[in-house]
Chains A and B, each alone.
Chain A
């Protein structure tokens, strides 16, 4: 009686629970199934074992995305801070300016960068040079930074702007120099924003395939490209195995990072 009562209380969540089981959990189970079977459908470790071949690709993806995330943080934090300290009307304008590129399709933005930086592209024709940019690691990193910078700035901005204005005054009242206010008060208080910014940049960077296709000029392959190639060529079992490993790695690192934030919303806001 009591039990039934408590289930009825949350009956509104039932469609969602049903949906999640069917379209989130079940597909993940199928990924696991594919990862551990061969193309005939019989059990096999082969896909997982063959992943060793892809280790250099994993490493390269990690390298580029970590660099890009770091650059985003270095550029994005001051930006978020400046925006958060601006007058309210200006804050709005800046946030709008930040959102607008996000709302432009990523493919188009990336393509447009390629068109600018390409060997025969806009930049070279404008400067009358023949710089070789597309096809370098730098170009891919630039693309990642460019595409995902707003994802770094927004959560940090939200976090910094929520810090009580009195906090600055209290800190300087207690004898902090401006730099100390920053390092001892503001930075620690914005950890949760930094962490969610880092995840929001790192996850799409590490798994991208479009940016590397366009700005990498086909010279190197990232893990996203590998998965996409398995998909296109129909090597679904290998694709599933790589996806599985990538997912596990990302979920582990996310939960490790979440340890650092003890916010109440921890469960729901990544």
Chain B
């Protein structure tokens, strides 16, 4: 049974990783092909680093992801606290349902609706589609990141309960001090994971960006990749993806080691007790 399980996992993970591994392999291909491997070279990496378009797209993607993560984390954390304090059950569930719409709706519908909204607003303001781009994408990204932030912060707040805040008030904090000095530090893991989730959602988004970018020339990596895969892909995209995969892999390993250490610490504490 045990062996069977292991074989099963290896098989599925194997299939899951074949495309990624071939992608890494072909990023080192000497020829301009994603089908036939004809020799090892760094050619595509060099080309990648010499391409201003890629760098600009990378920069745009990061700026957009950082800003939308920050904004959605601030609004979302405040919202989670507000929702927690809400007395009316009806109000609570109404707000959570609306919040969840972008998460439940297919991206393509969210993208379409926001695009139509921006077209209408820009029409009223007399602006052309060229001025869409960064701002509209930022708004769209914050909108679809918000549910993830709230989803990761709200359970923490619920779990924490009222007692710590009440203790803080009791000891002389104003409600605002109580939030920042006591509640926030204790829900920080949820806030951080919400922010990380928002950041990666934004980083990864293609569909919604594609719809709301309008006719502006603003490019993010997913948009760039899309426009490149419209034609035949050259291995420099593979090189870029390889770099992304490796970066994420390193980040995952680091965060795992860190949290692994924390678990270890806790265990030690438990033994002492």
Chain A residues with a Cβ under 8 A of chain B: 6, 9-17, 19-20, 23-28, 30-31, 34, 75, 78-79, 82-83, 85, 89, 92, 94, 96-101, 103-109, 111-113, 115-116, 118, 120-122, 124-125, 146, 149-150, 199, 203-204, 206-207, 209-210, 214, 224, 227-228, 231, 236, 239-240, 243, 246-247, 250-251, 254, 265, 267-270
Which of B15-23, B42-50, B160-168 contacts the other chain? B15-23
Q: Which chain B residues (89-117) contact chain A, with CB distance < 8 Å? A: 91-93, 95-109, 112-117
Q: Determine the chain B residues whose CB is within 8 A of the CB of A34 once the complex forms.
A: 116
B82 within 8 A of partner (CB): yes
Which of B95, B113, B237 is close to A13, meaning CB atoms less than 8 Å apart?
B95
Q: Given known contacts A100-B245, A236-B119, A247-B109, is B95 in contact with A17 (CB within 8 Å)?
A: yes
Residues B20 and A15 in contact, CB atoms below 8 Å apart: no
In the complex, residue of chain A having the shortest beta-carbon distance to the beta carbon of B224: A107
Interface with A: B4-12, B52-60, B62-70, B185-193, which one? B4-12
**Contact partner of A207 among B106, B146, B151, B222, CB < 8 A?**
B106
Q: Are B245 and A79 in contact (CB under 8 A)?
A: no
Residues A115 and B104 in contact in the complex (CB < 8 Å), given A82-B8, A268-B151: no
* Also in contact, A105 and B116, with CB within 8 A (given A20-B95, A28-B101, A268-B151): no
Give the residue of B34, B103, B207, B221 whose beta carbon is less than 8 angstroms from that of A122.
B34
A30 and B229 within 8 A (CB): no
Our pick among A10, A100, A106, A254 for the contact of B104 (Cβ within 8 Å) is A254
* A115 in complex: contacting residue of B13, B34, B150, B252, CB < 8 Å: B34
The smallest C-beta distance from A96 to any residue of chain B, in angstroms, reads 5
Give chain B's interface residue range (CB within 8 Å of chain A): 35 or more
B170 CB to closest chain A CB (Å) equals 18
A107 touches B248 (CB 8 A): no
- A15, A199, A227: which contacts B78 (Cβ < 8 A)? A15
Q: Are A207 and B107 in contact (CB-based, < 8 A)?
A: yes
Is B226 positioned at the interface, with any CB of A under 8 Å from its CB? yes
A57 to chain B, nearest CB (A): 14
Q: Are B117 and A30 in contact (CB under 8 A)?
A: yes
Contacts of A13 in B (CB 8 A): 78-79, 81-83, 86, 95
Do A92 and B256 form a contact, CB below 8 Å, given A107-B226, A204-B107?
yes
Q: How far is the CB of A260 from chain B (nearest CB, A)?
A: 16
Distance A243 CA – B101 CA, assembled complex (angstroms) = 14
Chain B residues in 8 Å Cβ range of A25: 98
Q: Which residue of A lies closest to B6 (CB)?
A: A82
Residue contact A99 to B116, C-beta cutoff 8 Å:
no
Cβ-neighbour of B109 out of A75, A83, A243 (below 8 A): A243
Cβ of B105: which chain A residues have Cβ within 8 Å of it?
A: 203, 247, 250-251
Chain B's closest residue to A15 (CB) is: B75
Task: Specify which chain A residues have a CB less than 8 angstroms from the CB of B15 in the assembled complex.
Answer: 146
Determine if B40 is an interface residue (Cβ-Cβ < 8 Å): no
Known: A15-B75, A16-B79, A247-B106. 13 other contacts (CB 8 A): A6-B88, A10-B82, A13-B86, A23-B143, A27-B116, A30-B117, A82-B9, A83-B9, A107-B225, A111-B229, A150-B16, A268-B99, A269-B151
Decide: B256 and A149 in contact? CB cutoff 8 A. no
Name which residue of chain B comes closest to A270, CB basis: B104
CB of B237 within 8 A of CB of A224, answer no
A253 to chain B, nearest CB (A): 10
Which of chain B's residues have a CB closer than 8 A to the CB of A75?
A: 12
CB distance from B137 to the nearest CB of A (A): 12
Residue of B with least CB distance to A269: B151
Could you write out 27 A-B pairs with CB less than 8 Å apart?
Answer: A6-B87, A9-B85, A9-B86, A10-B85, A13-B95, A20-B98, A20-B99, A23-B142, A28-B101, A31-B109, A92-B260, A96-B256, A101-B16, A101-B20, A105-B221, A107-B206, A107-B222, A108-B237, A111-B237, A113-B19, A116-B18, A116-B19, A122-B34, A146-B19, A203-B106, A224-B106, A228-B108
